[in-house]
Amino acid sequence: MYKVKNQSTQPIQDFPVFNNWNEVAYGWYFAMPSKELSLNEVKALEFCGQELVLYRGTDGKVAALDAYCPHMGTHLGKGKVVQNTVRCFFHHWQFDSEGSCTKIPCQKDIPEKIKVPSYSVCEKFESIWIYPSRNPSHSLVNFQEIDSNEKILIEFGKKYERSCHHHVTMINGIDPQHLKTVHDLEIEMKVDIAEPEDGNRIDITLTGKIGEGKIREKLARYFLGPEYSYSMRYDHGNNGFLTLMKDVAFFGQKWPTLHMIFAYRPLEKGRMMVQPIYVTRKRTGLLGPLISAFLLWLTKRAFFALQGEDGAVYENMRFYPANLLPIDRPISQYIQYVNKLKSSPWKLS
């Protein structure tokens, strides 16, 4: 459970949205890999404090509804998919993807008030994502370096849980100080921050010089050049799109970038889930598949290194950003960005 001790001596700073367990911000939340929901299948899902059902109709499209039938409260996860509707097990009332009742077997007339709350769904990166409203403010973002029309390969990492807020763990990738203390990297770096006016995302790019003193630094300079660069694209404060190996070249040949998504979802107060998703372009030609597989392997190695060294601190961390330094500008701006996000009707228990 999230920490409530030491309040009189080390109070936790309260924010409107950031690190606030009482708020679930609007945004696209990862539900499951697309392959886990078959045609004409319905599944129950505990989701951001809600009980939902997901179903895939005969047309192949996925719908998300509140889990309880508005008639007598039967859980729709016990029901059955009929064409493009889900049918309640108990009295066979049917509901479409917008939550409208389309059939009541015992009578022809359907009262207009009969409706189940429904939510927008998209399938992208071979995954199902849910938005806490029928009207999303934007579509799920993509990586800056990958065109939306490009074919990609996806591999899912093992999902895991943390007993801390996902807003705090998302800061890990933009914390210059820990790059020096934990990863022993130079922190004299340029920080570029871009935030569109709609406030839905923020892009943070960090560029620094590679040292020359240590053997690993010399090897890195030989293969990557004198500088390294990476970026984090945050989508609504609950998805992190990390790009590694930006603008590096070996003997004039530019290295391919590495991509991974950190998809975060709060489960209950004090507990959240992370789903790593590794992404690369689908390459053609004789060596194309081999190159793509190798880049996915490199991406996973990078993730394991980050998770292994940084993950240990979060279980006992009490995030208190009252004494941030100028070097922490990416963190302070990220916090400001998250606090401008709008809260959804969903609540954690």
Encoded amino acid at 91, one letter: H
Residues 247, 320, single domain; the answer is yes
Residues 102, 68, single domain; the answer is yes
CATH number at residue 121: 2.102.10.10
pLDDT score, position 147: 87
Q: b vs e for 36-75, b when ≥16 Cβ sit within 10 Å of the residue's Cβ? A: ebeeeebbebebbbbebbbbbbeeeebbbbbbbbbeeebe
pLDDT score, position 250: 65
- Burial class of 221 by CB neighbour count within 10 A (0 to 12, 13 to 18, 19+): middle
302's CB contacts (< 8 A; 6+ apart) are 244, 258, 260
Q: b vs e for 9-34, b when ≥16 Cβ sit within 10 Å of the residue's Cβ? A: eeeeeebebbbbbebbbbbbbbbbbb
Residues 41, 115, single domain; the answer is yes
pLDDT score, position 265: 96
Residues 126, 211, single domain; the answer is no
Domain ends where: 77, 96, 130?
A: 130
Residue 250 lies in a domain: yes
The answer to whether 152 and 167 have CB atoms below 8 angstroms apart is no
Mean of the per-residue pLDDT values for the chain? 89
pLDDT score, position 251: 64
pLDDT score, position 275: 97
Residues 123, 168, single domain; the answer is no
Phi-psi region of 228 (alpha: psi -120 to 50; beta: other; left: phi over 0): beta
pTM metric for this prediction: 0.92
Residues 213, 296, single domain; the answer is yes
Map tokens 């509804």 to a residue: 65
Residue 141 lies in a domain: no
The answer to whether 224 and 255 have CB atoms below 8 angstroms apart is yes
Helices (H), the chain: 166-169, 176-181, 215-224, 288-310, 329-339
Residues 158, 120, single domain; the answer is no
Residue 137 lies in a domain: no
The answer to whether 159 and 276 have CB atoms below 8 angstroms apart is yes
Residues 185, 81, single domain; the answer is no
pLDDT score, position 1: 45
Residue 309's φ and ψ, nearest 5 degrees, are -90, -35
**Start-to-end C-alpha separation, the chain:** 12
Residue 188's φ and ψ, nearest 5 degrees, are -80, 90
CATH number at residue 203: 3.90.380.10
**HSE-CB of 146 using CA atoms within 13 angstroms:** 24
Q: How far apart are CA 340 and CA 144, in angstroms?
A: 23
Residue 105 lies in a domain: yes
What range defines the domain where residue 188 resides?
152-339
The answer to whether 210 and 235 have CB atoms below 8 angstroms apart is no
pLDDT score, position 322: 83
Domain ends where: 95, 130, 165?
A: 130
Residues 206, 314, single domain; the answer is yes
Residues 57, 163, single domain; the answer is no
The answer to whether 27 and 10 have CB atoms below 8 angstroms apart is no
pLDDT score, position 195: 87
Residues 170, 58, single domain; the answer is no
pLDDT score, position 311: 65
Residue 348 lies in a domain: no
- Under-70 pLDDT residues of the chain: 1-4, 185-188, 216-217, 220, 250-252, 306-312
Distance of CA 158 to the CA centre of its chain: 14
pLDDT score, position 10: 79
Residues 123, 217, single domain; the answer is no
Q: How far apart are CA 237 and CA 338, in angstroms?
A: 6
Residue 147 lies in a domain: no
**How many domains is the chain partitioned into structurally?**
2
Residue 123 lies in a domain: yes
Residue 347 lies in a domain: no
